[in-house]
Amino acid sequence: MEDIIATSNFQNNDDFESGKAEPMLSHIPVPSQLPTALELDQLPDHVLRSGAVEALIQQNDDLMARLRVTLRRISVYEERLHRSESERQKILAEYENFRDQVLVLREKTVALSERHRVEEEALGELRSQVRLREIEYAELYTTSQDRQDELQKTVQKLSKQLARLSRYRHRVRRALQNFRNQFSNEKNEIESQFTQALENTKNSLNSHIQELTVNVSLLDKEKRYLQSELASETETKARLQKDLAEAAEYISEQAKQATENQTRLVDTYEDQLESLRRDLADASAEKQQLLRKMSDYDNVYERNVDLENQLILLKRQKEDSKTELDQEIIHLQEKLASYRVEAKNKTLENEGLREDKVSLHNQMLTIKQENNQLSEQVESLQCLWRDNQKQLEKQKDQNVALQKLNQSLSQKLNEYRQQATRLKEALDRNQLQQSTTSAATTEPSQNAPSDHEFSPDVMNRIDELIHEIHSGFTKMP
């Protein structure tokens, strides 16, 4: 019961929420501190048998019973209030927990949004890098294709030039071989003709003149000299012509006395010599032409060798560049694949973050709904607490009224006890007077008040108390 009165010290809702209280009813005794029951044994019988006193006692018992019931109700209300307060504290704790969870979820949402933004920026950078790599790959592929086409065209061109030069070299070699064979054949034929002519001339000259033996030997020497000059270059040709002219002059001087056959033989020899000169000139010209062709062929051959070396170098460079381009393409493809895998992973993470964001948003909505419900429950509990507080205040007022009534009744009973004591003393005095005066024994018995009678003031006071008790009960709910 002390807890009930201690709980009832809260004056308003703010005191209830803040835990502060002022001792309003500390001066009011608890039910265990109520005045003890009336000691009816000390009252005289005529007082106990009085109907008004019995009515007052019954009303007092009824009031005490009602007071106990009211206090029990107040204790029940206090217990309900305690339960409501515990539920309210629990709801407030849950509300604080939910609010902390909402703040944590908001922080997580902000962190996830920031992480999502950073990942979106990284994904955008990766996509831009992928686009740049694709552009670079396309440019490198186009450049490599152009270089391959140029190298292929160069190779084809060089192959055509090589084939043409090979055919030209083959034709030059074949023409040179034919020219050598023809030149050797003509040389042999000329030598054989010249030898035969010289033999005929020698025989004819030996048969006609012996003087020309020296000249013939000179001619043989000149013949050998001419044969040696045929294998030499153009410089020996002039000297041969000079020697031939000198020989001709010498022969003409020595053969003035020759016969017509000798003259015809000399003319024939001059004609053959002239034709031989022409052949030698043609052979030297053709030789110079062949030398020029050979030099051109050597130049072409050297150029062909250089071109072949360049072609081999270009092929090697092409193979190296192709290998490098293939490696670069493989590396770019690997990077592109890794970028695509990373983009897919980022997309999956983005989807997961979006799902987490949606779930967090749904959780926040549910938490808001639960928070609203909890707020409504708190408001309803506060309203219920206010109603209980009002009822408790009413009960406190009624309890105060009952305590006042109980105090007034206690005072009245004390007054009645004092009046009964005075009446008893008066009765004792009367009995003493009766014992002293025997003559007046009958008069005191007739004039003394009966046990069941009271003075008019006492009866009026009892009626007022009964009226106050009834008026107090009528004010109660």
Distance CA 393, CA 8 (A): 8
Mean pLDDT of 245-269: 63
Q: Give the per-residue pLDDT at 87.
A: 86
Is residue 133 scored above 80 in pLDDT?
no
pLDDT confidence of residue 244: 63
Mean pLDDT of the chain: 70
The yes-or-no verdict on residue 239 having pLDDT over 70 is: no
Report the SS3 class of residue 48: helix
Give the C-alpha separation, 50 to 128, whole Å: 113
Task: Give pLDDT tens digits for 38-85.
Answer: 566 666 666 666 676 677 778 778 888 888 888 888 888 888 888 888
Q: What average pLDDT does the segment 174-196 reach?
A: 73
The percent of residues above 70 in pLDDT, for the chain, comes to 62
Measured torsion, CA atoms of residues 72, 74, 77, 83, in degrees rounded to the nearest 10:
-80
Which pLDDT belongs to residue 135?
83
Residue 110 has pLDDT above 80, yes or no: yes
Nearest to 388 by CA among 30, 82, 1, 28: 82
Q: Which pLDDT belongs to residue 229?
A: 61
CA angle 440, 443, 444 (to 5 degrees): 95
Percent of the chain whose pLDDT exceeds 90: 0
Q: What pLDDT, on a 0 to 100 scale, did the predictor assign at position 162?
A: 76
Top mean pLDDT of 15-24, 36-45, 282-291, 388-397 is at 388-397
**For the whole model, what pTM was predicted?**
0.28
* Average pLDDT score over residue span 269-285: 72
**DSSP code for 36:** P
User: pLDDT grade, residue 10 (50/70/90)?
Assistant: very low
Is the pLDDT at 2 greater than 60? The verdict is: no
> Highest-confidence range of 117-121, 162-166, 215-219, 225-229, by mean pLDDT?
117-121
Q: What's CA 181's distance to the chain center, in Å?
A: 88
Predicted confidence band of residue 233 (pLDDT cuts 50, 70, 90):
low
- Tell me the three state secondary structure of residue 26: coil
**Backbone angle region of 19, left / alpha / beta, with phi > 0 → left and psi within -120 to 50 → alpha:** left
The residue type of 399 is: N
Does residue 21 register a pLDDT over 50? no
pLDDT at 223: 64
CA dist 292 and 421 (Å) reads 179
What single DSSP character describes residue 19?
T
pLDDT surpasses 80 at 456: no
Helices (H), 437-455: 442-447
347 has pLDDT over 50? yes
Q: What's residue 212's pLDDT?
A: 54
Q: For residue 477, what pLDDT band results from cuts at 50, 70 and 90? A: very low
DSSP 151-176: HHHHHHHHHHHHHHHHHHHHHHHHHH
- Residue among 296, 80, 272, 284 at smallest CA distance from 193: 272
Q: Is 60 exceeded by the pLDDT of residue 36?
A: no
Q: What is the CA radius of gyration of the chain?
A: 79
Q: Would you tell me how many other CB atoms lie within 10 Å of the CB of residue 146? A: 10
Please give the pLDDT value at position 237. Answer: 60
Lowest mean per-residue pLDDT among 49-58, 78-87, 141-150, 462-471: 462-471
Nearest in space to 191 (alpha carbons), one of 279, 261, 131: 279
pLDDT digits (tens, 9 = 90+) for 409-445: 778 777 877 877 787 787 777 777 777 775 444 444 4
Task: List all residues 6 or more positions away from 223 whose beta carbon is below 8 Å from its beta carbon.
Answer: 194, 195, 198
Closest CA to 93 of 374, 369, 360, 372: 374
pLDDT at 390 over 70: yes
Q: How confident is the model at residue 247 (pLDDT cuts 50, 70, 90)?
A: low
| Cα distance between residue 351 and residue 261, in whole Å | 126
Query: Six-digit token pair at 234?
Result: 């153009």
Q: Is the pLDDT of residue 5 over 50?
A: no
**Mean pLDDT of the region 232-243:** 62
Residue 451 confidence (pLDDT): 41
With a cut of 70, say whether residue 462 has pLDDT above it. no
